[in-house]
Structure 1
Amino acid sequence: MDATYIKNHIEQLKKDIYRYVQHKTLLKYTGNPLVDENQLFYMLLPFFNGDHWDDEKYEGIITVGIVQASLAEHGLINEYDATSKEQQLTVLSGDYYSGRYYEILANSGNISLIRQLSESVVLRSEHEIRVYEPRQYAIDDWLDSITVIETECISRFYQLYNYDQYLNIMQINLLILRLQNELLNYREGNSSLLLQKMIESFVPVDHLNFEQYLLKKLDVLIQQLQELLRISSIKAELKQYIAERLIR
């Protein structure tokens, strides 16, 4: 197994997700649903590592991917102008994807996964709503929110099928990748609403500015991930794949 093998399977999963939610009008105005390849990798990680895998689990990760796409579409809605055709269709696309993943799960009879994903959507939405609340959260609270937003659906899939050995690696890695992306956007002047809230919550420590703090936090998280990988029993080529995608 090499990087090409991994990428080919990620690409196939992406195509299968697109196939389940394909709609001509939505494709014309909003394009394919947003799917994160790093998240897709972690959905497939048990398969890559040789754990028991079957059609039920593969259908499960397709559903998880559609859930993530649905929530990502809703996140694209312009909070200041949601009246254009494109914005209205973005809302509809998120709702359409939501309906599709419940339809898939209902047809499969996988009640346990329905319950887990429903709970994950509620929890993730609660954390996404935080950016609109007047309450002040500490910066560590925002890091917790990012972790929930990025990982909760996959975490529920892991817990349901007893893939807990991958949980901490997945959570820390996806948090790192999201923070690295937020940092790049910050440097380019394209801060997200969530990052703006983090900046507002930031209290300077040890004479560090916000960017320096974030870089220091990333170094700590990367060290934690490297240690988890060192002691993990996952295949060496998977450890290498994960490590090579860290931006230092």
Structure 2
Amino acid sequence: MNATSIIQSVQTLQSNILQHVHHRALLQNVGQPTLQEEQLFFIQLPFLNGAQMNDDRKISAITVGIVHASLLEHEKVMEVEATSKEQQLIVLSGDYYSGRYYQLLAQTGNILLIQKLSRGIVNRCEHQIRLYEPEQRSLEQWVQSLMIIESELISQYYDVYGFTAYTDLMQNTLTYIRLKKELQLIQKGQNGFLYRVLALADNPAAIPSAAESIDEQLTVYKKRLREIVKHMNLHNDLKQSIEQYITV
């Protein structure tokens, strides 16, 4: 296992996902689906670290990637001008990707995976819906919601195939990466999940304090991740890849 092999494995999964959701009209109008490289890495991680790959697991990995793509498309829909042609096509693209992963799941006949991914989708969406609820929550609670949003589908996938030894590492890394993105948006005064739930648009004076609190959370997660990596049975190149995620 080396850095080149890791990159090629992630790129292969990406290509397989794009092949399964290819649609010329959608590609021309809304572009390729969003596939987050770090999530693809963690879908592949057990196999990169020595787990056996077979046809069932290959299709399951592709399916998890398509589910992520479908949900991310729906997140792109704006709250205003949601009836524009582009916005309607984004909704349709999300629905189309949903149909493709339903097809793949039906072909596998893997009832447990279907059950687990369905549960993961529900849980993930429930935490996204909290964005629109009036209940006040702490930053720590919102960060937990971000962890569910970023990692729940892969957690369920790991559970199906007995890859739960990687769950803690995956959850904390993906949360750390998402927190870094959220912090950058807040520092730029741009709309993001935490920017919205912390109502920073209505209270710009609170931005420095919020940014400082998120930075403190990042420090905690970085320390935790390095302890997890230190004690995990991972190839050195995989440890280096994860280290890059928490230092870049």
What TM bracket, shorter-length normalisation?
over 0.9
Please name the residue that 1:43 is paired with. 43
Structure 2 gap segments, 5+ residues each: 201-207
Q: Indicate if the aligned counterparts of 1:17 and 1:65 stay in contact, CA closer than 8 A.
A: yes
How far is 1:186 from its partner? 1.6
Q: How many Å separate the matches in 2 of 1:187 and 1:139? A: 16
Deviations 1:55-89 (A, max 9, x none): 11111010000000000000000011111111000
**TM-score (structure 2 length as normaliser):** 0.94
Q: Return the letter of the residue paired with 1:119.
A: R
Give CA-to-partner distance per residue, 1:136-159, whole Å, 9 cap, x none: 122221111100100000000101
Equivalents in 2 of 1:118, 1:165: separation in Å?
Answer: 22
**1:178 and 2:140 are equivalent in the alignment:** no
- Residues 172 and 198 (structure 1), Cα distance of their counterparts in 2 relative to 1, 3 Å cut: farther
- Which residue does the alignment assign to 2:205? none
- Give the SS at the match of 2:121: helix
Q: CA deviation at 1:199?
A: 5.5
2:14 is aligned with 1:26? no
Aligned-pair identity (%): 41
What's 1:86 paired with? 86
Q: CA deviation at 1:5?
A: 1.5
One-letter amino acid matched to 1:146 = L
SS of corresponding position for 2:228: helix
Q: Tell me the equivalent position of 2:203.
A: none
Provide the rounded CA distance (Å) in 1 between the counterparts of 2:107 and 2:52: 23
The 3-state SS of whatever aligns with 2:233 is coil
Amino acid at match of 2:2: D
Q: Deviations over 1:175-216 (max 9, x none)?
A: 00000011112222213144321356xxxxxxx821111111
Any idea what the Cα deviations from partners look like across 1:65-116, whole Å, max 9, x if unmatched? 0000000000000011111111000001111111110111101111111111
2:220 is the alignment partner of 1:220: yes
TM-score in terms of structure 1 length: 0.94
Letter matched to residue 152 of structure 1: E
Counterpart of 1:168 in structure 2 is: 168
8 Å CA contact retained: 1:49, 1:234: yes
Cα offsets for 1:203-247 (capped at 9, x unmatched): xxxxx8211111111011100000000111111111111002223
Structure 2 distance, partners of 1:238, 1:198, is: 35
* Residue pairs, 1:124-143, within 5 angstroms: 124-143=124-143
What corresponds to 1:96 in structure 2?
96
* Unpaired runs of at least 5, structure 1: 201-207
Superposition CA RMSD, Å: 1.3
CA distance in 2 between counterparts of 1:59 and 1:67 reads 12
Report the counterpart of residue 111 of structure 1 in structure 2.
Answer: 111
Q: Count residues in correspondence.
A: 241
